[in-house]
Amino acid sequence: MSDLRLPSIDMSIDEFVAQMPRGNGALNDKMGVVITEISPERIVATMPVEGNTQPYGLLHGGASVVLAETLGSIGSYIHASPEKVAVGVDINATHHRSATSGTVTGTATPIHPGRSMAAFEVVITNEQGKRVCTSRITCALISAPQG
């Protein structure tokens, strides 16, 4: 993990994702998560509602949490690297309204970029810009593996 570089002007999102140990991650690939913006101040991704619903046809709350954890973890890692890596220790989500179709967009912004912990707020909105979910993720920042 210590070879991961921060995004720069000359690095595309695809290049950043490709250098992560498992790329976009198998779960994100299955759920259709696409990262669209990465910076220390903001990480954004989209996810289709279709294929990520619960039995009543609504966006599954767990799908929202997957999106939120992805964004908050990337943001925490950007803040911590290269000396440290981020490991999730807490996540919560409040579901404000349902989504039954289209695409949702998650936007993560730092709440507390500390030395040993990082916390991010993730706001997930529908295509009309209405808030579907608000999540908060906290990651412990631990020493990066050597070698």
Question: Of 50, 69, 83, 121, which residue is the catalytic one?
Answer: 69
Helix, strand, or coil (residue 145)? coil
List Cβ neighbours of 76 (8 Å cut-off, separation of 6 or more). 86, 118, 120, 137, 139, 141
Q: Give the tokens for residue 143.
A: 């020493």
Encoded amino acid at 118, one letter: A
CA distance 116 to 61: 29
Is residue 69 flagged as an active site residue? yes
DSSP-derived letter for residue 13 is: H
For the annotated catalytic residues, the residue numbers are 69
